[in-house]
């Protein structure tokens, strides 16, 4: 069932017109910059099962949620989307309009759809 989650934001964080949806939790570390139009979702929102999607009594049965965690000193470029269950290490740069579907290793630059390692910092 979709419920209210927790959003925790560290110190010295800059956020420009971003959207967060937390069914479980979203945690953002210290000194993180989040560009305009960034979307961070910890849930699928809807079931993948067509019968459940259109049956009000069952609509939330197969909806999956998993927390998102962003480490310290990260920069999330404009328009990026970070999906459920992702952990982003410290000092990570995510390129503009990237789609993050898996964990990102600290001290690295990632970009693309899906986001892939561009280089280590």
Q: Which residues are catalytic?
A: 46
CB 35 within 8 A of CB 78: yes
Structure token digits, residue 121: 């910092």
Which pairs from 20-24 meet CB under 8 Å and 24+ separation? 21/45, 22/68, 23/63, 23/65, 24/65, 24/66, 24/67
CA distance 55 to 78: 36
């Amino acid at each position: 069932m979709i419920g209210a989650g927790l959003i925790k934001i560290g110190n010295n964080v800059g956020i420009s017109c971003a959207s967060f949806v937390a069914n479980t939790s979203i945690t953002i570390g210290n000194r993180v910059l989040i560009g305009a139009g960034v979307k961070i979702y910890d849930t699928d929102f809807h079931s993948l099962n067509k019968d459940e999607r259109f049956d009000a009594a069952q609509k939330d049965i197969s909806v999956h949620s998993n927390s998102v965690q962003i480490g310290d000193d990260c920069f999330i470029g404009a328009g990026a989307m970070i999906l459920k269950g992702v952990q982003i290490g410290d000092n990570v740069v995510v390129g503009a309009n990237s789609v993050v579907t898996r964990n990102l290793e600290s001290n690295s630059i990632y970009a693309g759809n899906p986001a892939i390692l561009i280089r280590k910092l």
